[in-house]
Amino acid sequence: MAGCAALPGLLLLSTPTPAPTPTPRVIMMVATPTESPAGQESADSIEARRIAVYERVAPAVVNITTQALSTNFFFGTVPEEGSGSGFLWDTQGHIVTNNHVVAGAQQIAVSFGGDTSLPATVVGTDPINDLAVIKVDSVPDGVLPLDLGSSAGLKVGQTAIVIGNPFGQFERTMTQGIVSAINRTIQTDTTVLRGVIQTDAAINRGNSGGPLLDSHGRLIGVNSAIYSPTGTSAGVGLAIPVDKVKLVVPVLIEKGRYPHPWLGVEGLGYELSPSLAQAFQLPVESGLLVAQVYQGSPADQAGVRSATNRVIYGNRRYLVGGDVITAIDGIKLATWDDLSAYLQEKTDVGQTVTLSIVRDGKETTVQATLADTPESWQGQ
């Protein structure tokens, strides 16, 4: 997947300012319209609705350009430019985009079209959900925030519309496809995005942070990444669902960051299997081997124990002797991602959870009150 990804081909969609590309030859094909069967929407009415969506939504879609400082081996510190998309959230000038579009930027400029650009400041960021809010001091006359839809009831096959700025050059480009899948989990090299919407609407670099819309022009997602072996659209676009955006953005505007529940345990990927359980003489065949408990963390305060010994099993070294977490609030855990998903999707900061653990061969439970994830962990 693209850009910052743990899997080959997953690309985040902001883009450095590109060199001009050759203008391709365009062959236009004209088809003779036919009458629609009774009871079906005519091609003309579908087209009219699509045009209406564009005319209403496009003015609120912005082109975001950034400048950051990077270190070059030969020349020292040099400026680096990038671009992405965003959209107007409210009449106060708040604009929603992806965190990776503005991360590390020293300067941010926003264009509502044409040659005029406005300086913008970062209001809040949420690296874990790859969302950010920036703000401009004024909004052009007549530009209205987007209407918000819902992602809870999305069905595969529904119309999906994208408006954004591919490659940072083609402002307010509109493409259309369908909702190809829902509830995807996508691993990048900085975070795990859950509940993601997949679409085949054409999305390319520079579309990051732009809106994914339903057939009525309501926001259903924020475009974030594509899966592509070439770096251009391969028909697999990925968007953060609007229901998550509704939760995160108001908090970013109010507080500057979004709180994420944190337990404070680390397993280094150690997950039990029947063979490991037999080798380590444990009474359970699945669960999470606790390698480290962070001092002062909720897990530490709950008394969760970290590893005490190192052993070699097969061709791998394991830290053992600590607790094995087998369930949280009665939900069995087989992988560390199971625990992460439960914390992010089912709990809140300040909530008390019950951990089922195995300690010294015996099963017991402890309770931990979740804290806010430290900023140094954001995106991990």
As a whole number, mean pLDDT of residues 123-128 equals 96
* Among 259, 226, 234, CA closest to 100: 226
Catalytic residue among 83, 85, 100, 338: 100
What pLDDT score does 72 carry?
Answer: 62
What pLDDT score does 126 carry?
Answer: 96
3-state secondary structure of 152: coil
Per-residue tokens: 260? 């994420």
What pLDDT score does 18 carry?
Answer: 41
As a whole number, mean pLDDT of residues 37-49 equals 76
Q: How confident is the model at residue 26 (pLDDT cuts 50, 70, 90)?
A: very low
Min mean pLDDT across 77-81, 100-104, 147-151 is at 77-81
For 336-361, write each residue's pLDDT tens digit: 999 999 999 999 999 999 999 999 98
Q: Is the pLDDT of residue 175 over 60?
A: yes
Q: Is the pLDDT of residue 15 over 70?
A: no
Q: Is the pLDDT of residue 42 over 50?
A: yes
Query: What is the amino acid identity at position 102?
Result: V
Q: How confident is the model at residue 377 (pLDDT cuts 50, 70, 90)?
A: low
Min mean pLDDT across 74-83, 143-152, 277-286, 295-304 is at 74-83
Q: Is the pLDDT of residue 5 over 90?
A: no
3-state secondary structure of 201: coil
- The residue count for the chain: 380
As a whole number, mean pLDDT of residues 288-317 equals 93
Q: Return mean pLDDT, the chain.
A: 86
What one-character-per-residue DSSP string does 74-107 give? TTEEEEEEEEEEEEE-STT-EEEE-HHHHTT-SE
As a whole number, mean pLDDT of residues 85-113 equals 95
Which residue reads 């350009």 in tokens?
65
* Among 250, 254, 249, 223, CA closest to 238: 223
- The verdict on whether 340 is a catalytic residue reads no
What pLDDT score does 13 carry?
Answer: 59
What pLDDT score does 38 carry?
Answer: 53
Dist. CA 211–CA 88, nearest whole Å: 10
- Return all residues near 164 (Cβ < 8 A) that are at least 6 apart: 61, 85, 172, 173, 203, 206, 207, 208, 209, 210, 211, 223
What pLDDT score does 189 carry?
Answer: 67
Q: Is the pLDDT of residue 6 over 70?
A: no
Q: What residues does each domain of the chain span?
A: 1-19+43-258, 261-377
> With b meaning 16 or more CB within 10 Å and e meaning fewer, what string describes 164-193?
bbbbbeebbbbbbbebbebebebebebbbb
What pLDDT score does 9 carry?
Answer: 60
Instruction: Tell me which fold the domain 1-19+43-258 belongs to.
Output: Thrombin, subunit H (2.40.10)
Beta strands in 145-262 (DSSP E): 159-164, 173-187, 192-199, 211-213, 219-227, 237-241, 261-262
Q: What are the angstrom distances between the C-alpha of 152 and each of 45, 126, 204, 290?
A: 27, 21, 26, 35
Phi and psi at residue 18, to the nearest 5°: -90, 160
* Among 329, 259, 320, CA closest to 292: 320
Beta-strand pair 117-119/107-111: antiparallel
What pLDDT score does 316 carry?
Answer: 87
- Return all residues near 40 (Cβ < 8 A) that are at least 6 apart: none
Dist. CA 101–CA 117, nearest whole Å: 17
Instruction: Tell me which fold the domain 261-377 belongs to.
Output: Pdz3 Domain (2.30.42)
As a whole number, mean pLDDT of residues 90-105 equals 95
As a whole number, mean pLDDT of residues 51-61 equals 97
As a whole number, mean pLDDT of residues 207-215 equals 96
Dist. CA 240–CA 128, nearest whole Å: 11
- The verdict on whether 130 is a catalytic residue reads yes
Catalytic residue among 130, 200, 323, 338: 130
- The verdict on whether 94 is a catalytic residue reads no
Q: Is the pLDDT of residue 93 over 70?
A: yes
What pLDDT score does 74 carry?
Answer: 59
Q: Is the pLDDT of residue 30 over 80?
A: no
Q: Is the pLDDT of residue 33 over 80?
A: no
Query: What is the amino acid identity at position 363?
Result: E
What pLDDT score does 147 carry?
Answer: 97
How many whole angstroms from its chain centre is CA 192?
A: 7
Min mean pLDDT across 30-39, 194-203, 224-233, 299-308 is at 30-39
Indicate if 261-377 has the same CATH topology as 1-19+43-258: no
As a whole number, mean pLDDT of residues 234-248 equals 94
What pLDDT score does 37 carry?
Answer: 54
Share of residues in the chain with pLDDT > 90 (%): 66
Catalytic residue among 85, 208, 224, 228: 208
What pLDDT score does 378 carry?
Answer: 55
